[in-house]
Chain A
Amino acid sequence: MAHIKLLNEELPGIVGLLTYRPETGKPLTELAEILLRGPSSLSSGEREIIAASVSYWNQCHFCHTSHAAAAAAHLKSGPALIDDIKAGLPKTPVSDKLRALLHIAHQVQRGGKNVTKEDIAAAREQGATDLEIHDTVLIAAAFCMYNRYVDGLGTWAPGPNEAYAEMGERMAHVGYIRF
């Protein structure tokens, strides 16, 4: 049970929080929509991998599994991606550029000042642009917010990966806007 009384206790993770306080729910969903599904030179699958990775590093089960399921829906890769993201993507063919951006995201997750000039240079060597670096930092930062919001209020999350398949499809193909 969450730390506060939500309107519908059966809604998992962030979903019940968005309807509890729609004035903040609206910009929270608009931010997710533009960051993860808006126009970008990074594919939505790549951006969901960044979101899911940061959520795993923050130990947020709901956010990690749902965004990994969204990545799997975008990449049509099957649910094995969920655990491969936890392991640092040993089996999934992703670009060296994405791996360099994921390192930047991990530094941001630890704290903004951990991002070094060398981390940025390594990403640029793999072809990352200013916009891609900006968006990687903001996605990582934003998930440090969403993860704390979801866990800080003690929301409920389904356990098994399979429970997130339909949610992942909806996040990938319908998106985040609900207000």
Chain B
Amino acid sequence: MPHINLSSEFPGIRSLFMFRPETAAPLNALVQAMLHNPHPTLSAGERELIATYVSRLNTCKYCCNIHGAIAQHHLGNNAEIVQRVLADPETAPISNKMKALLKIAAKVQSGGKNVLPEDIELARSEGATDMEIHDVVLIAAAFCMYNRYVDGLATWQPDDPELYDKMGEQRAREGYLTPPFKVVASQ
């Protein structure tokens, strides 16, 4: 049961965007710029992997599921990569650079000051650029916000994998600036 009066027709963060459109605008503009817009070196799929991984570390079911679904759709519908990254990035089928960036993301999740020069050095030694280091820190920091927002107001977080798949397909294709569709709670 959410802590405030939210529409029951929209799950997770979508219900919060409906409640307060004035804050929804910059929140969606931020995720659009971070995760969907063209990037010189990090694919959308790679950026979504960072988002779903941080959301798992913060144990936010809705955010982990939706960004995992979006990542999957960007990565040629490859569910295995997503599952392996969520289980253990070190052994997942991703580049060494992505492994180093995900280490930085985990440090940011535990606290900004936990990012040490050796974490940055490791990423650089695997070819990470300044822009990539900037972006992984910001994506990880931003998901520490989105996860707290979604859980802090106790939004409705469904368990239906087909629903996340449908929402994930929409967002992977359209980005974050188009309206969400209504959902009927099957409860």
- Chain A residues within 8 Å of B, Cβ to Cβ: 3-5, 17, 20-21, 23-24, 26-28, 30-31, 34-35, 38, 58-60, 104, 107-109, 111-113, 115, 117, 120, 130-131, 133-135, 137-138, 140-142, 144-154
Find residues 6-20 in chain B having any chain A CB closer than 8 Å to their own CB.
16, 19-20
CA distance A120 to B152 in the complex (A): 10
- Chain B residues within 8 Å of A, Cβ to Cβ: 3-5, 16, 19-20, 22-23, 25-27, 29-30, 33-34, 37, 58-60, 104, 107-109, 111-113, 115, 117, 120, 130-131, 133-135, 137-138, 140-142, 144-154
CA distance A110 to B94 in the complex (A): 31
Nearest CB in chain A: distance from B79 CB, A:
26
A-B contact count (CB 8 A): 151
Write the chain A residue with the least CB distance to B143.
A145
Please name all residues of chain A whose beta carbon is closer than 8 Å to the beta carbon of B19 when the two chains form the complex. Answer: 130, 134
If over half of A's interface residues share one DSSP class (helix, strand or loop), that class is named, otherwise mixed; here it is helix
If over half of B's interface residues share one DSSP class (helix, strand or loop), that class is named, otherwise mixed; here it is helix
CA distance A28 to B34 in the complex (A): 11
Q: Which of B4, B22, B145, B150 contacts A130 (CB 8 A)?
A: B4
Contact A21 B134 (CB under 8 A): yes
CA distance A150 to B111 in the complex (A): 11
* Given A111-B58, A113-B59, A130-B5; A24-B33 close (CB under 8 Å): yes
Contact B148 A108 (CB under 8 A): yes
Contact B115 A154 (CB under 8 A): yes
